[in-house]
Structure 1
């Protein structure tokens, strides 16, 4: 099974399949199931859940219960670098997080687990995603994803700091990536760059700007997702499938 996690605007272009409510010990998660593909909209199908209120643990655990082994997460982000232009894609190879009140682990009681995150995004899926984008001749970059709490946009001074450490900034990439690794699931992120972050662009950042860029990128996103879910993956040989082997004390 393959899981596709989407955010702002993605529900309107990927919203197909049988709707189901999955009960987990962390709460409920609503998904759409289309054959061997599970679609999950982190903000809700009607986009009414802000990033800091998303039940990330229920979402990821529900995918695990459904038998999902590989996750493609679609994240809308702001660019921290002038050369990473709105309308392009970024495939993160690392992350830094500045969130404040999110449940970031499944292992907060019972046993102590120190999961290795030296390579947080599945290396096999990253290579597959790069191959898909290169074959499509889509403009993309690799880089570090900076995750903030939201739902507000970042200040200019915050961006001055973040741009020294990362390449794009968003609000939803963490803790998904960590939770997936804790459950030995492969996780890769496709970041669609919707805007320049505050201070990099001279214009005031608006939600309309973000939604307009997502709308313009819809066709490309759909083609990438289609290529991904139809890819002949074979057996997993990555670090993700054995993540807990040396993590439990």
Structure 2
């Protein structure tokens, strides 16, 4: 990293998430990444004395479709911005009757069905294998669950998020297949985001905001665009409230430094030091610098 930054909490989501009452000292800043251009500039701000960094996943105005998001640049930029914890907020469809529009799911598992995205910072010349058995930070998920309860948000702790490629939605046969796999929600954005966050040794958690039922539901065709937009607006209000409630909890967490997420690469690097591609070593300065500089 070019300069030391104060540690911060990162939020990935849409424009409605970062318009938070009480956020002060706001500034947009462009972060240069060796992995290309992030989705947008990052919004830096301070909430009750805590540093926050917001990244519009699709760019302001929702200009970038899921398959064209530069996930590597986004995660690298957040790491360079000083983020230690990242909360990913995304709109999803429900695959379960009891998970209704307007509810949040604090997902703890993923099934990755994407196929057109670069999924690792590592590769030829510098190989690493991180564990994804438990793909999100349970400590961070616990804080989000507690914050949701305080904010009066109906949220389910735990659940499986099926990540599809898109941009088209599922066929009915696909939707029923994913339901048979015991998936709970379906979306297009959290992979490879979660994998890259793990490689970057970031504590990462997902808040899946349900907007509608997927096409499996017999009443799905009766849902109007106006109804979906109404849920999106209400979910944005809830997301802002969730952030306001969770930030003090993160700031007061004395166990955060010892979280295993922050040492995910400790035994993951496979390539011998003398065989490492030096350009890759340089590019990975923010992601793996604590190990590669030794």
The TM-score bracket by the shorter chain reads over 0.9
Unaligned 5+ runs, structure 2: 1-7, 271-294
Are 1:158 and 2:174 an aligned pair? yes
8 Å Cα contact 1:194-1:209 kept in structure 2? no
Question: In structure 2, do the counterparts of structure 1 residues 24 and 203 end up closer, same or farther at CA, with 3 Å as the change threshold?
Answer: same
> What does 1:27-106 correspond to in 2, within 5 Å?
27-29=36-38, 30-35=41-46, 36-106=51-121
How many Å separate the matches in 2 of 1:210 and 1:67? 35
Are 1:194 and 2:204 an aligned pair? no
Equivalence for 1:24? 33
> What does 1:111-190 correspond to in 2, within 5 Å?
111-141=126-156, 142-165=158-181, 166-190=183-207
How far apart are residue 116 of structure 1 and its match?
0.2
How far apart are residue 68 of structure 1 and its match?
0.5
Equivalence for 1:5? 12
Deviates more, 1:162-171 or 1:224-233: 224-233
Q: Name the TM-score, length of structure 1 as normaliser.
A: 0.93
Question: In structure 2, do the counterparts of structure 1 residues 12 and 72 end up closer, same or farther at CA, with 3 Å as the change threshold?
Answer: closer
Question: In structure 2, do the counterparts of structure 1 residues 14 and 53 end up closer, same or farther at CA, with 3 Å as the change threshold?
Answer: farther
How many Å separate the matches in 2 of 1:233 and 1:80? 34
How far apart are residue 210 of structure 1 and its match?
3.4
How far apart are residue 146 of structure 1 and its match?
0.3
SS at match of 1:184: coil
Question: In structure 2, do the counterparts of structure 1 residues 208 and 43 end up closer, same or farther at CA, with 3 Å as the change threshold?
Answer: farther
Are 1:233 and 2:247 an aligned pair? no
Question: In structure 2, do the counterparts of structure 1 residues 91 and 222 end up closer, same or farther at CA, with 3 Å as the change threshold?
Answer: same
Larger relative strand fraction = 1
Q: Once the two structures are superposed, what CA deviation does each residue of 1:51-106 show, in whole Å capped at 9, x if it has no partner?
A: 11111110000000111000011011000000101111100010001111101110
Equivalence for 1:222? 240
SS at match of 1:59: helix
Unaligned 5+ runs, structure 1: none
Q: 1:243 aligns with which of 240, 261, 264?
A: 264
How many Å separate the matches in 2 of 1:41 and 1:208? 23
Q: Name the TM-score, length of structure 2 as normaliser.
A: 0.80
